[in-house]
Amino acid sequence: MAQAFSRVAIFGKPRADSIREPLSRIISQVQATGLEVLLDAATREAAGLTEFAGHSLAAIGKHADVAVVLGGDGTMLGIARELAPHQVPLIGINHGRLGFMTDIALDQMTEVLGQMLAGDYEIDRRVLLDAEVLRRGSPTFHTRALNDVVVSRGVNGGMVEFTVRVDGVTMYNQRADGVILATPTGSTAYALSANGPILHPSLAGLVLVPVAPQTLSNRPIALPDSCVIEIEITDVRDASAHFDMQTYSQLAPGDVVRARRSRDSATLLHPRGYNYFATLRQKLHWNVMPSESHNRF
Residues with catalytic function: 73
Beta-carbon contacts of residue 170 (< 8 Å; ≥ 6 apart):
163, 164
Q: Is 204 exposed, middle or buried (0-12, 13-18, 19+ CB in 10 A)?
A: exposed
| Ranges assigned E (strand) in 25-100 | 36-40, 54-55, 66-71, 90-94
For 110, the 3-state DSSP assignment is helix
Q: How far is CA 193 from the centre of its chain?
A: 16
> Which CA distances in Å does 84 have to 54, 60, 133, 267, 287?
20, 12, 21, 8, 34
Contact 44, 54 (CB under 8 A): yes
Q: How far is CA 141 from the centre of its chain?
A: 19
Q: Taking the alpha carbons of 120, 47, 61, 84 in that order, is the dihedral positive or negative?
A: positive
